[in-house]
Amino acid sequence: MKPAARRLLIQSTKEHEGFRSLPYPDTAGHLTIGYGLNLDAGMTEEEAEAILVIRLCNAETSLLDHYTWFSGLSDTRQRSLIEMHYQLGSISVFRRMIRALRAGNYDKAAAEMLDSQWNTQTPTRAAHCAALMREG
């Protein structure tokens, strides 16, 4: 299909499906989201990865927008925080960790990651992110 025809197809489908940001039952009772995406049908790994990439980029943008010090961190430390933000939706509740990061105290920031309910709930992931933070 030519690019112009593809754009028209996408626009027409979006208009007919409508957008819903939260899951809802469609007219046939299937759990649906977005522009008519049938969640009951599942998704391919490729589709899941595309969503993952978009959400990781959104997490990075959010951290850049909210924390002036974030851009000065090494890529490894940024990875640690982006993964936290992706999983948790925000890192704002980690006030002591954020204070330590502002001060450049990465060992303290890692310790604060581990001194959390997050570590209790997902200890392997928290240990991984804390190690990234320490090692930088």
Contact 33, 20 (CB under 8 A): yes
Domain annotation covers residue 40? no
* pLDDT score for 78: 98
Domain annotation covers residue 22? no
Domain annotation covers residue 80? yes
Contact 129, 121 (CB under 8 A): no
Domain annotation covers residue 14? no
Domain annotation covers residue 27? no
* pLDDT score for 8: 97
Counting other chains too, the contacts that 121-128 makes at CB distance below 8 Å and 24 or more residues apart are: 122/87, 125/83, 125/87, 128/83
Q: What is the pLDDT of residues 70-124, one digit of tens each?
A: 999 999 999 999 999 999 999 999 999 999 999 999 999 999 999 999 999 999 9
Q: How far apart are CA 114 and CA 127, in angstroms?
A: 7
Domain annotation covers residue 110? yes
- Please provide the average confidence, as pLDDT, over all residues in the chain: 97
CATH value at residue 106:
1.10.530.40
Q: How far apart are CA 29 and CA 88, in angstroms?
A: 30
Amino acid present at 92: S
**pLDDT band at 40, cuts 50/70/90?**
very high
* pLDDT score for 29: 94
Domain annotation covers residue 72? yes
Strand, coil or helix: 19: coil
What total of structural domains would you count in the chain?
Answer: 1
Domain annotation covers residue 98? yes
